[in-house]
Amino acid sequence: MLGTMFCFLLLDAVMKLALEHYSLVQVTWGRFFFASVAAAAVCGKHLPVLARSKVPAVQVLRSLLLMITTALFNAGIMQAPLATATTIMYLTPILVTIMSIFLLREDVGVRRWIGILVGFVGALVVVQPWNAGLGSLVQSGTGFFLLAAVSNASYQIATRWVRGDDPLTSLLFT
């Protein structure tokens, strides 16, 4: 888990640095191009088999959601510190829990609702919407992060819908 978090933070830092020299579209494209090359390498000789999904439309939707998340996140980090971005993106698990009730028909108990409430209060402390109007939120990049959190939560829900595919198929589509 620590290794994974390190990789995500490293990716975010590299994207923030790249955005100082390249456009939003170029950096977002580069992230997915190099990820696609790495995914194809991991799949190796099994690539033709793994490129076939049982639910290709959902895989494509899932991939688009991640692309939107990445583009929104990148747009936000052009204006805001990575610490702010990371903290606001921690809203994603809260949104996934709420969305899972409606989209996955899951039961959420009292302990989870308490966790959602605590997480939401934590996000409010970081975002501090009482200190600025909506225009300021968008100017500071926060609006991008909030939209990215919603898009990322949707991506996570879509991941549940493709669980019948091989994990490498999902990696390849992503």
Structure confidence by residue, pLDDT tens digits, 142-164: 889 999 999 999 999 999 999 99
Q: What is the pLDDT of residue 25?
A: 97
Question: What does residue 91 show for φ and ψ, rounded to 5 degrees?
Answer: -70, -20
Reported as type and span, the H/E element at residue 28 is helix 24-43
Q: With contact defined as beta carbons under 8 Å apart, do 121 and 90 qualify?
A: no
Tokens representing 71?
């583009």
Q: How far apart, in Å, do the first and last CA atoms of the chain sit?
A: 20
Extract the residue ranges of the chain whose pLDDT is less than 50. Answer: none
Rounded alpha-carbon distances, angstroms, from residue 4 to 7, 16, 34, 39, 127: 5, 18, 18, 16, 25
Residue closest to 87 by CA, chosen among 28, 145, 132, 6 = 145
Name residue, tokens 């994990």: 167
Residue whose pair of structure tokens reads 């990575």 in the numeric block: 82
The residue length of the chain stands at: 174
Contact call for residues 77 and 15 (beta carbons, < 8 A): yes
pTM: 0.87
Q: For 138-156, give one letter per residue: b (16+ CB within 10 A) or e.
A: bebbbbbbbbbbbbbbbbb
